[in-house]
Amino acid sequence: MHGLAAASVILSWALAAFWSWCGLMAARHLPSLPNLLESTPQKAAGDPERLPEVTVVVPARNEAPAVEDCLRSLLAQTVPVAIVAVDDRSTDETSTILDRIAREAQARGKLLTAQHVEALPEGWLGKPHAMALGARQAATPWLLFTDADVIFGPEVLERALRYARESAVDHLVLMPTLILRTPGESMMTGFLQCVSLLWWRPWRVSDPGSRESIGIGAFNLMRSGVYRAVGGFEGLRMEVLDDVRIGVEVKRGGFRQAVAFGPGLIRLHWASGALGMARNMTKNFFAGFAFRPLLLICGWLGLALLCFAPLAGLFAGWPVRVASLVSLAMIALHYRCAGERFGGPGAAWAFSMPVAAALVLWAMLRSMVVTLARGGVVWRGTFYPLSELRRNAGPVR
């Protein structure tokens, strides 16, 4: 018993040290990341500068409820943009909406082209294919890859392009502001933002000597030459985490990356309710572990230990209880730091961590079990065999 008690004390203080280190690092470094609302004000009237041109690629499959708002927000940008909207075999009204908005845009002298994919070529996932197809139409020095459910503030591209030019970066990611409609969505968002800072250091993305990279589907802005130099989405044909992997390839290619914030500049509603968010992770979680069950199980055990051991320690002796209180205080600090910079729900939602952690752990197991049972992934109505996904899975950092 004495040996077990000693091990419990050591473990509890090791967890407290880990949470404290991560929390203090986040508190110190997250505020240093650029806020486009603060660092890139709108240019003054008569400013002769001319920003580089950009083509926005918008892949869409069955996005009828959201794609019109997305495209209209892009058409309302304060700088000229060329938009390529790619309908990826939609079975709803997406195709009709794209064609209608393209006609309206062209009548107003705006550049919006609607592309239609009738059949998916062999050896491709739908989204990478749609983005590769859209990128082939571009003849501008910059490309922006985004999602069809993102709403853009009118100054986003002006601010982003100016920051990219002034900072001499090749790939800029702008963190989206999530639209949270239910308490469950706030609970899940706060938890995911908190735990993301346990293994990802966004302040090191811009460091050429660091392996940290960034790629987010809502806003991947990169130089066209860089996109081509890393092989583009042509080289990621069967990659489930295509947005993450393109960022990895840019960093591995020695190009400069940066991550920025701007509360409200781009907004999206990712999923409905806590269960909806958990189900949305079915495709991604197992992919994040390269479709390897042992890796996912190790990650599952580690996350469970980090989240539940401090709670269990509250019912142990005082040495363990004090360490657990330190861990819980640092978890609340994580929530606060992430909320302030990511635009999440903040420290008040730290109390909901046990429920959110349980749902995420369930989603991890569900992702693995469903994928293994099916022998692959069903995404947007298309089945992709597990053997092929494993063969093409690459590093996510």
In terms of Cβ atoms closer than 10 Å to its own Cβ (0-12, 13-18, 19+), residue 45 is: exposed
Residue 332: φ, ψ to 5°: -60, -35
Tell me the C-alpha to C-alpha distance, in Å, between residue 73 and each of 70, 83, 206, 221: 5, 11, 29, 17
Top CATH class, 43-154+207-255: alpha beta
Residue 40: what pLDDT?
53
Domain definitions of the chain by residue range = 12-31+181-199+269-370, 43-154+207-255
Residue 45: what pLDDT?
45
Residue 342: what pLDDT?
82
Q: What is the pTM of this model?
A: 0.90
Residues in Cβ contact with 41 at an 8 Å cutoff, skipping those fewer than 6 apart: none
* pLDDT tens for the 397 residues of the chain, in order: 467 778 888 999 999 999 999 999 999 999 999 999 986 545 544 454 678 899 999 999 999 999 999 999 999 999 999 999 999 999 999 999 999 999 999 999 899 999 999 998 988 999 999 999 999 999 999 999 999 999 999 999 999 999 999 999 999 999 999 999 999 999 999 999 999 888 889 999 999 999 899 999 999 999 999 999 999 999 999 888 899 999 999 999 999 999 999 989 999 998 899 999 988 887 788 988 989 999 999 999 999 999 999 999 998 888 899 999 999 999 999 999 988 888 778 888 999 999 999 999 999 999 999 999 999 888 777 788 888 888 877 776 6
